[in-house]
Structure 1
Amino acid sequence: MVHEGDYVELTLVNPKTNQLPHNIDFHAATGALGGGELTMVQPGEQVVLRWKATKPGTFVYHCAPGGQMIPWHVVHGMNGAVLVLPKAGLKDDQGKPLHYDRAYYIGEQDYYLPKDADGKYKRYPDPISSFGDDLKVMEGLIPTHVVFGGAKGALTGDNAMTAKVGETVLFLHSQANRPSYPHLIGGHGDYVWERGNLADKPATGLESWVIAAGSAGAFTYKFKQPGTYVYLSHNLIEAIMLGAAAHIKVDGGKWDNDLMMQVAKPAAIQ
């Protein structure tokens, strides 16, 4: 996280034990290839880049070494997001300061893992050995996994995000390669910057929205009821079957029956 007008300086290290070149394309940066050409390093090299955060918002960054290596690196997890807060901070749809108590980042990742003739995932001695098989799966455009936090279940159960009743939480969500459709079950997007354009007025009260391929979005929600909430992509096949789901455990406060209550318990139909 940085603020509008800040300088970002980073060192990209490509260990000599690696086999492939790497770089970083920062969607938040200004200049050809987003710094991709200036950060290209071979195994055993390192480079230092500095760029100025001139535009507020949420932005994807990813590896982009050229050709088929670009999508191959991206779908192997070489991506993330940068938050550039406006100088004056976040504002609601009326231009008033918007407070949040905590923030969470959800990095969504699609994987395309080859299987053998028996339907089992294949193993390879090193990353480059899987390249040909990976491309065949990738060309079908059907991921084997779509996950939040790098692995299936990474943000569920004991690893769930947490909050308290009455807290406002800022959520950041990125997808470097394909669209996603965030939805908070039992809650809403109080304020939503679907394309991460934090200097603009947010949309309000959304049930679901779209994170475009190669972008990051943001939303806030003030939790009003305790319990475990599910945050997922509302492509339900991807959420339930491929892993695009997370949990938020919310405690504190009492259940408000005025907002929701069971009027009658399940009973046999007469």
Structure 2
Amino acid sequence: MFNRRSLMKVVGLTAVAAAAPAAAAQATSPAAAPAQALDVSRLPREQVELVAPPFIHPHEQATKAGPKVVEFRMVIEEKELVIDSHGTKVQAMTFNGSVPGPMMVVHEGDYVELTLVNPATNSMAHNIDFHSATGALGGGELTLINPGEQVVLRWKADRTGVFVYHCAPGGPMVPWHVVSGMSGAVMVLPRDGLKDEKGQPLKYDRAYYIGENDFYVPRDAKGKFKTYDSPGDSYADTVEVMRKLTPTHVVFNGREGALTGKNAMTAKVGERVLIVHAQANRDTRPHLIGGHGDYVWEAGKFANPPQRDLETWFIRGGSAGAALYTFKQPGIYAYVNHNLIEAFELGATAHFKVDGTWNDDLMKQVSPPGPIGPTKTGAVSPLKPTGKH
């Protein structure tokens, strides 16, 4: 078992861990609190039940109410996952059992209060680093817990956008825990909702959350993917593959085909859909085949005006982005990482299934496929030589 002491020895975080209680005390000390800080004890509270991606828990897009404390509870699960159609298995580490972990939605000025639980059945120490939070390694210093422990962290959502969170226990444990599935996203909405580049309101009819994950599965001498009994058993072999920086799988929401077929995301013609895309480790290039990014916050921050009409957008590793698109045609839309090798060979493909009526004005097949016909009188067929040189 990896306990906290052995983990600290591996990653050299003894000083960080020792500083954590002091940092926590300082953070709660009245002398350390800024003069303008709210009395959090007087704020209303809301308990939110998290849901598995690609879905997002119910939330208001805009609010006239004042700040509140939003309570979430998340359980860390170490579990075996099948990540492709061939039955390849990994010893995953997850938030709430899903890859990626669930999305949390609050409004600017709210307080996120997370109870993080590490059950005694787990074998590893874990924590959580919120890219949306300020100080203490995004909360990572204050949330490192052994199996059988839980911790409560509160942080203020003082900037808007979509952000990554991930496990960050320190040193070489960080990339291993992340690529083993331990990442998720937070969306901090402006209190008055999303806006276009002119400051006009933007609303969405549906919202989906796509987490892209790169896996590094070791192979045996015959080239077959290996299996392990526990995350710790897989560590040494997995790190060897990770160091080559060449993933064996690049998938959306935990496995190849997780968002295709019967699991495709749905919409209707005329609906505006918000797509949040997060990648905690590698750069990616989302593209909606047959559609566009009408409004795209490529860097994921709503204080910046959205870009318009993008064909493909860029999500930096360790960040999340958001795009709005109004579907205009029915059918199946492939949503891919436009590194097409990763999309078609490694698994980074999702589908939207859109219902509605076809619009011939936008696209029409003028004639069906068939034999090449005669050319018009006087025209030269490009398939026949002219005899002239």
Is the TM value for this pair above 0.5?
yes
CA RMSD of aligned residues (A): 0.7
The answer as to 2:220 corresponding to 1:116 is yes
CA deviation vs aligned residue, 1:214-261 (integer Å, no higher than 9, x gap): 000000000000001010110000000101010000002x21111001
Q: Are 1:90 and 1:199, in contact at CA under 8 Å, matched by a contact in 2?
A: no
CA deviation vs aligned residue, 1:80-138 (integer Å, no higher than 9, x gap): 00000011210011110001101000011110000111111111111100100000100
Q: Which one-letter code corresponds to 2:159 in the other structure? A: K
Q: How does 1:1-270 map to 2 (within 5 A)?
A: 1-252=105-356, 254-270=357-373
Q: Distance in 2 between matches of 1:150 and 1:123?
A: 17
Q: Distance in 2 between matches of 1:89 and 1:42?
A: 39
Q: Which one-letter code corresponds to 2:232 in the other structure? A: I
* Displacement of 1:163: 0.1
Aligned equivalent of 2:32 = none
Work out the number of aligned pairs and report it: 269
Q: Distance in 1 between matches of 2:323 and 2:213?
A: 19
Q: Which one-letter code corresponds to 1:267 in the other structure? A: G
Alignment partner of 2:141: what SS? coil
Q: Distance in 1 between matches of 2:215 and 2:256?
A: 11
Q: Distance in 2 between matches of 1:134 and 1:32?
A: 29
Q: Distance in 2 between matches of 1:18 and 1:225?
A: 47
Q: Distance in 1 between matches of 2:199 and 2:345?
A: 40
Q: Distance in 2 between matches of 1:4 and 1:222?
A: 26
Q: Distance in 2 between matches of 1:85 and 1:127?
A: 36
* Displacement of 1:26: 0.2
Q: Are 1:227 and 1:251, in contact at CA under 8 Å, matched by a contact in 2?
A: yes
Alignment partner of 1:36: what SS? helix
Structure 2's unaligned 5+ residue stretches are: 1-104, 374-389
Q: Are 1:27 and 1:34, in contact at CA under 8 Å, matched by a contact in 2?
A: yes
- TM-score computed with the length of structure 2 as normaliser: 0.68
Alignment partner of 1:103: what SS? strand
Q: Which one-letter code corresponds to 1:234 in the other structure? A: H
Q: Distance in 2 between matches of 1:99 and 1:58?
A: 16
- TM-score computed with the length of structure 1 as normaliser: 0.98
* Displacement of 1:32: 2.5
Q: Which one-letter code corresponds to 2:315 in the other structure? A: I
- Larger RCO: 1 or 2 (CA < 8 Å, sep 6+): 1
